[in-house]
């Protein structure tokens, strides 16, 4: 009888030793120590034994059970330690490896220019106004002194959505909104940067959508000299110290007098080069004194106040500043082009 117990014990200990994984060990546990396992089977043999042999037999089976349990538990601990070690090894992270670089886009050159202009004018106490790109004919044309049938409407070929709604053709529409909003109260000092749209065929110098920044100042005794001083300051900040500006007579329905503004060529310092086509001057913007009728239509008394306004094309400024010769570069989103502006961020 005791031999049988010894065999079971030996077989169990061997099986424990051979178990390579916790799963295998668990199978061994079920096989020997389970309710229907081999050691339990030995126990049930006890019933058939004569009474006087029972205690000794019981003792031996219990010893066997204890030994097997003890060895199994020890093995289980070993295997658990091994399993944790293997898992740690497998999930090891090398914290000294260089991380993945996250590519961040660069600021678009037109936004760089916009930011620069905003900073410049905020510094002079202007506020930055915003308005809708989908605009009413009323603000884009009517209030700007360009009634229906006015020939000046041809200057700005327009995308109409319906007879009274359009994509704004100039930021002057925002100027009108701001004038109206002020209810005749001065002073007004603001810039309005934003996108504008015209029905142009795209080429190196035309784009059906481009950006402008409008400037507007209305108050008592605002003069053309103030406009000139302001634009000269802007030209010096944007194109480098020493820039001069000059006014040439022009025509806009919403300003009187109206001027085209040239800046002395920053490339040749006014001597004449291929960029300024030998003239020493480069046209950068349109401007003028706000037309008295515009002031009147918007609820201001032109006898008591006056104002100046200007509108600058941001593409034009960016092209001059960064030496870009095709306006389409701003809109085709070629990363090679855009990435060259990372150093300006």
Instruction: Name the site residues for ligand PHE (rule: CB under 6 A).
Output: 170, 172, 214, 252, 255, 286-288, 309-311
Residue 175 CB, nearest distance to ligand PHE (Å)? 7
Asked if 169 contacts 140 with a C-beta cutoff of 8 angstroms, the reply is yes
Which residues pair with residue 264 across a beta bridge?
281
Residue 298 CB, nearest distance to ligand PHE (Å)? 14
Residue 163 CB, nearest distance to ligand PHE (Å)? 22
Residue 111 CB, nearest distance to ligand PHE (Å)? 20
- Which of 5, 144 has the CB closer to ligand PHE? 144
Residues in the chain: 345
Residue 198 CB, nearest distance to ligand PHE (Å)? 9
Q: Give me the residue whose beta carbon is nearest to ligand PHE.
A: 311
DSSP state of 328: G
- Which of 72, 144 has the CB closer to ligand PHE? 144
- Which of 25, 312 has the CB closer to ligand PHE? 312
- Which of 229, 278 has the CB closer to ligand PHE? 229
- Which of 24, 260 has the CB closer to ligand PHE? 260
255-264 β-sheet, strand order: 127-128, 188-197, 209-219, 306-313, 281-290, 255-264, 245-252
Residue 321 CB, nearest distance to ligand PHE (Å)? 19
DSSP state of 325: -
φ/ψ region of 221 (left if φ > 0, alpha if ψ in -120 to 50, else beta) reads left
Nearest to 231 by CA among 188, 199, 263: 263
Residue 334 CB, nearest distance to ligand PHE (Å)? 27
CA distance 216 to 172: 9
Residue 274 CB, nearest distance to ligand PHE (Å)? 26
Distant-in-sequence, close-in-space partners of 190: CB < 8 Å, separation ≥ 6: 126, 127, 128, 129, 178, 215, 216
- Which of 207, 255 has the CB closer to ligand PHE? 255
CA distance 87 to 159: 66
∠ at Cα 279 (277, 283), nearest 5°?
85
Q: Is 99 helix (H, G, I), strand (E, B) or coil?
A: coil
CA distance 316 to 117: 13
H/E segment holding residue 61: helix 54-90
CA distance 137 to 148: 9
- Which of 121, 310 has the CB closer to ligand PHE? 310
- Which of 29, 168 has the CB closer to ligand PHE? 168
In this structure, what token pair is assigned to residue 91?
A: 């999930």
């Amino acid at each position: 009888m005791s031999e049988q117990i010894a065999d079971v014990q030996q077989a169990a200990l061997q099986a424990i030793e051979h178990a390579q994984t916790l799963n295998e060990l668990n199978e061994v546990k079920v096989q020997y120590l389970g309710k229907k396992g081999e050691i339990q089977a030995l126990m049930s043999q006890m019933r058939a034994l004569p009474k006087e042999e029972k205690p000794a037999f019981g003792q031996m089976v219990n010893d066997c059970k204890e030994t097997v349990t003890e060895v199994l538990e020890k093995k289980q601990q070993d295997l658990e330690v091994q399993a944790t070690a293997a898992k740690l090894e497998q999930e090891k992270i090398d914290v000294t490896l260089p991380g993945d670089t996250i590519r961040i886009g660069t600021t678009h050159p037109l936004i760089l220019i916009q930011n620069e202009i905003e900073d410049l004018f905020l510094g002079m106490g202007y506020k930055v106004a915003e308005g809708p790109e989908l605009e009413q004919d009323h603000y884009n044309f009517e209030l700007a002194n360009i009634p229906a049938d006015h020939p000046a409407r041809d200057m700005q070929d327009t995308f109409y959505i319906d007879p009274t709604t359009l994509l704004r053709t100039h930021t002057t529409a925002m100027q009108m909104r701001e004038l109206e909003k002020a209810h005749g109260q001065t002073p007004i000092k603001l810039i309005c940067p934003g996108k504008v749209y015209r029905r142009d065929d795209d080429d190196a110098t035309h784009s059906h959508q481009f950006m402008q920044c409008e400037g507007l100042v209305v108050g008592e005794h605002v003069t053309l000299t103030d406009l000139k001083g302001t634009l000269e300051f802007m030209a010096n900040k944007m194109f480098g110290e020493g820039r001069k500006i000059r006014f040439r007579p022009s025509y806009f329905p919403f300003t009187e007098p109206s001027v085209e503004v040239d800046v002395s060529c920053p490339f040749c310092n006014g001597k004449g080069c291929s960029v300024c086509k030998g003239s020493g001057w480069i046209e950068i913007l349109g401007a003028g004194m706000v037309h008295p009728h515009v002031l009147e239509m918007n609820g201001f008394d032109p006898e008591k106040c006056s104002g100046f306004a200007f509108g600058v094309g941001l593409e034009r400024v960016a092209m001059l500043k960064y030496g870009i010769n095709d306006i389409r570069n701003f809109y085709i989103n070629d990363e090679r082009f855009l990435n060259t502006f990372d150093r300006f961020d």
